[in-house]
Amino acid sequence: MAQRTATHKHYPVFLTVEGRRCVVIGGGTIAERKVEGLLDAGAEVIVVTPECTAGVRALADAGEVTLVERAYEPGDLAGAFIAIAATDDSDVNEAVSREATERNVPLNVVDVTHLCTFIAPSIVRRGPVTLAMSTGGLAPALARKLRESLEANDALAFADLAEMTARVRADLRGRSVTVDPEGWQASLNAEVLDLFQNGETERAEARLTELLESWPHWVKAVAP
């Protein structure tokens, strides 16, 4: 397997793992966080580890994950959509990497960038909105700093408008009304946000619709 340098450029992507087999090798604190993230996304999670945290044990006892209580063995990645190795054993990490390469399974090896075929970004979530950032493995501490700064940024409050914006967009499309990107940017303003945050959801939605419909460059399709 060709090694990837710390400055390797990655193609950013969001994966749909819902209902897919995702294998985590390791059962420590970091592995537990990875498992929780996969479960949040609806994955079918298999954990392979001779020892695990109380949290992983509780998830297994609740039937939320499949726990295989033994050391990693070749073949454990069979049928995996993605795999994560969260161990401090370099021999195990190397072995998992070899199998992932043979099976063409995307692999993240925690803190061992050159063995990864994908890396896990630092995440900021607010409602249905997800922001992901990465330093390409160069400076994880910087990615965390950026994440914490974004979490405290007032602009993130606009993420609260996601579902309302989707409703307005669907309504406009249903009426064959198209608004250019600049119109959306201008209309999603502080006035609409303030109305929404003050609990005046209907007024916020009506105001957003009004602003979009008054935008000078909207187009209504004409039926032939």
* Paired strand residues for 109: 85
Please tell me the distance from the alpha carbon of residue 218 to that of residue 206, in angstroms, as a whole number: 17
Q: How many other C-beta atoms are found inside a 10 Å radius of the C-beta of residue 42?
A: 12
Q: Is the pLDDT of residue 224 over 70?
A: no
Per the CB < 8 A criterion, the answer to whether 205 and 166 are in contact is: no
Report which of residues 187 and 135 the model is more confident about: 187
**What pLDDT was estimated at residue 133?**
86
Q: What pLDDT score was predicted for residue 191? A: 96
Distance of CA 13 to the CA centre of its chain: 9
pLDDT value, residue 122 = 86
Give the length of the chain: 224
**Mean pLDDT, residues 107-135 taken together:** 89
Whether the CB-CB separation of 34 and 40 falls below 8 Å is answered with no
